[in-house]
Amino acid sequence: MTQQQMKECGMLRIFASYYRPHWRLFALDMICATVICLIDLAFPYVSRLSLQQLLPEQAYRAFFAVMLLMAAAYILKSGMYFIVTYWGHLLGVHIEADIRADLFSHMQRLSFSFYDKNRTGQLMSRVTGDLFEISELAHHGPEDVFISSVTILGAFCVMLTIRWELALTVFAVIPLFVLFTAVQRKRMAAASREVKVKLGGINGEVESSISGMRTAKAFASEGAEIEKFERSNNAFRGAKRGYYKAMATYQAGMEFAMGILSVIVIAAGGLFIMNGSMDYIDLITFSLYVTTFITPIRKLSNFVEQFMQGMAGFKRFVELMRTDPEIEDAPDARALDNVCGAIDVDHVTFRYDAAGPAVLEDITLHIAPGETVAVVGPSGGGKSTLCQLLPRFYDVTAGAVRIDGQDVRSLRQSSLRANIGIVQQDVFLFAGTIYENIAYGRPGATAAEVADAARRAEIYDDIVSMPNGFDTYVGERGVMLSGGQKQRISIARIFLKDPPMLILDEATSALDAVTEAAIQRSFDALAKGRTTLIIAHRLSTIRGADRIIVVEDNHILEEGTHAELLARGGAYAALYRAQQAVKE
């Protein structure tokens, strides 16, 4: 189902759509459930016939033949239960996997701004915990409702043929069940949603705490982290208390209702026996049927709880699936081919929030193909933001960014980003091997190409000196490596990708002076013939840039070569003198 269809369809229709690819397995589950129902319905009726006809007529052979037949039926029923339990749960797993795949795929499409606003732990809660409960609902929901409905209806029909007055007396209680269930369902649904929200908060706190464990220990702030977690944990405990109170009220009411049914049957049946309009065998049969449909009523009772939990998770899933990416390809978006690398920033203004302050305001800049331009200035001036507009991580608020004369909003994002190599200031390595992290730059690259990229990034010797070489595990976010090693591995990825345009966002910030000089030579070689944007704080690394622009207070204050800007004696010269003074 497409995102647009999810916006137009109701929850139950969306939920049902996930059964379509697995309809054979669903049909098998329902067929087995039907057999189980028929066997449960047959036993009380067969028992009544045996007690009323076969035993009084001393047809013992026929009696034991019928009993053997019923034993065989229960053997068949156990086989059906195996299929329902095993294959039915697999059906739930298949649906859970499909939902998770859709959710993960959709999350890959969502824009940077979405992840700016949502915590990782809360998103993890939706991808894991919520989907497990959806899986349980997907398996047990239709099956329990079907078995229960058929059993109750079938029992009612048979009971009508035995003693319709008693049958109507028993089933007069059913509307009270329905009314009670409807009232409690709303309370449980609200409580279940609250539990989901609070659990997401706990996951967010855990994710944040574990990610920042080293910082917490460095500041001896373990106690503060525990206090933050306790606040979330107590909120979750309170939400769970409310949910279980609603559930306990519901379960207690259902237990009373089901228990009173047996009392009604015995009391009313006793009255009919006193009047001579009913015998003990019919009363025993009625009691068996009451027992027969008490079980499905219990299943329906459990289903309500399961439905509340599963649908609370499913609503959160649909809510996320209905979230539109802020950055989407235009319907007629084109591929970026035969890239020359001309970049035009045309009167660009950018705000992260429409009501917020401008991060960039009326910026105009032309970069010729193959030109290396350095962007410098104080932190928070908009340098990184300017470069993030080029691969369209964000869309401009006003103006346009063009590559080879084409507005980036008219190009396919995948094509645009395939032609831009980015080394970011905040290095991210995936939890895997060094080889896998470098090869991420170009899937399908040969081992020789990966090794060559490592040499050009000045990390090859470090890698081969490790016990497992390229198969060395880097740990979560590269925690097993030094800062300089992580940075050079991320640089090796770009060497492997070999794009026509480069963005180097503080690419050498974690390197020592000797390694930085070596990497700088490699960058100089890589930048030849490519359009390159360099964001730098260390002005010594950008002396060879064709042009330097100074961004401050959301504007371009100056631009020119290193020598020209020093001679001008403006903002760049002041930055350069300040850094030289620190070195001295």
The closest alpha carbon to 261, from 291, 300, 233, 299, belongs to 291
Q: Please report, for residues 233, 403, 404, 501, 528, the alpha-carbon distance to residue 339 in angstroms, rounded to integers and kept in the order given.
A: 53, 8, 7, 9, 15
d(CA 302, CA 454): 58
Backbone angles phi, psi at 552, to 5 degrees: -150, 140
Q: Are residues 311 and 431 in the same domain?
A: no
CA end-to-end span of the chain, whole Å? 64
CB neighbours of 154 closer than 8 A, spacing ≥ 6? 37, 38, 41
Residue 390: inside a domain, yes or no? no
- Residues of 100-135 as b/e, b for ≥16 C-beta within 10 angstroms? bebbeebbeebbebbeeebbebbbebbeeebbebbb
Pairing of strands 501-505, 531-535: parallel
Domain with 159, as residue range(s), is 3-321
Distance CA 208, CA 225 (A): 10
Neighbours of 18 (CB within 10 A): 19
Q: What pLDDT sits at residue 129?
A: 65
CB of 299 closer than 8 Å to CB of 148: yes
280-321 and 120-127 helices, crossing angle to 10°: 140
User: E strands along 222-359, which residues?
Assistant: 343-350
The CATH number of the domain where 30 resides is what? 1.20.1560.10
As a whole number of angstroms, the distance between CA 151 and CA 130 comes to 31
Of 281, 305, 321, the last residue of a domain is 321
Tell whether 453 and 317 lie within a shared domain: no
List, in sequence order, every residue forming a beta bridge with 373; answer none if it has no partner: 533, 547
Q: Where are the alpha helices (DSSP H) in 322-421?
A: 383-388, 413-418
Task: Check residue 342 and give its pLDDT.
Answer: 92
> Strands 555-560, 501-505: parallel, antiparallel or unpaired by DSSP?
unpaired
Residue 259, both tokens: 């228990």
The pLDDT value given to residue 441 = 86
pLDDT in tens, 64-87: 888 898 899 989 999 998 988 888
Same domain, 156 and 269: yes
Position 398 in a domain: no
User: Are residues 316 and 445 part of one domain?
Assistant: no
Token readout for 520 is 């700088």
User: Which DSSP state fits 191?
Assistant: H
DSSP bridge partners of 555? 552
Is 177 exposed, middle or buried (CB count within 10 Å of its CB: 0-12, 13-18, 19+)? middle
Could you tell me if 112 and 248 lie in one domain? Answer: yes
Q: What is the DSSP string of 132-151?
A: HHHHHHHHHHHHHHHHHHHH
Q: What are the residues facing 473 on neighbouring strands?
A: 433
Q: Is residue 415 part of a domain?
A: no
Q: Are residues 67 and 198 in the same domain?
A: yes
Half-sphere exposure of residue 337: CA atoms within 13 angstroms, side-chain side: 3
Contacts 24+ apart (CB under 8 A), 318-325: 318/6, 318/11, 318/14, 320/103, 320/106, 320/107, 320/126, 321/3, 321/6, 321/102, 321/103, 321/106, 322/3, 322/6, 322/7, 323/106, 323/110, 323/114, 324/3, 325/109, 325/110, 325/111, 325/114
Residues facing 494 on adjacent strands: none
Tokens representing residue 339 in the block:
């890239």
* CATH number (domain holding residue 444): 3.40.50.300
CA–CA dist 174, 178 (Å, integer) = 6
Which H or E element spans position 341?
Answer: none
Strand runs (DSSP E) across 177-250, as ranges? Answer: none
Residues 313 and 430 both lie in one domain: no
Domain-embedded: residue 570: no
Question: What is the spatial distance between Cα 365 and Cα 344, in angstroms, rounded to a whole number?
Answer: 6
| CB 503 within 8 Å of CB 425 | no
Structure tokens at 431: 């939890």
Q: How many domains does the chain have?
A: 2
pLDDT for residue 406: 92
Nearest to 417 by CA among 476, 502, 478: 502
Is residue 559 within 8 Å of 386, Cβ to Cβ? no
- Same domain? 444 vs 314: no
Instruction: Enumerate residue ranges in the chain where pLDDT < 50.
Output: none
Distance CA 400, CA 347 (A): 7
How many helices, marked H, and strands, marked E, lie in the chain? 20, 10
Looking at residue 344, what is its pLDDT? 93
> Does residue 331 belong to any structural domain of this protein?
no
How far, in Å, are 118, 231, 238, 264 from residue 226 at the CA level? 22, 9, 18, 55
Cα–Cα dist 564/576, whole Å: 13
Q: What pLDDT sits at residue 400?
A: 93
Domain termination residue (choose one: 303, 321, 339):
321
- 580, part of any domain: no
Q: Of 321, 348, 365, which residue sits at a domain end?
A: 321
pTM as predicted: 0.66
Does the residue 233 lie in any domain? yes
pLDDT of residue 409: 92
Identify whether residues 447 and 302 lie together within a single domain: no
User: Does one domain contain both 159 and 292?
Assistant: yes
How many degrees, rounded to 5, is the angle at CA 195 between CA 251 and CA 237? 85
Q: Please give the order of strands across the beta sheet that includes 406-407.
A: 360-367, 343-350, 398-403, 406-407
Burial environment of residue 207 by CB neighbours within 10 A (0 to 12, 13 to 18, 19 or more):
middle
Q: Residue 511's pLDDT is what? A: 62
- Tokens matching residue 538: 């260390």
Asked if 448 and 304 sit in the same domain, the reply is no
Any domain includes 268 = yes
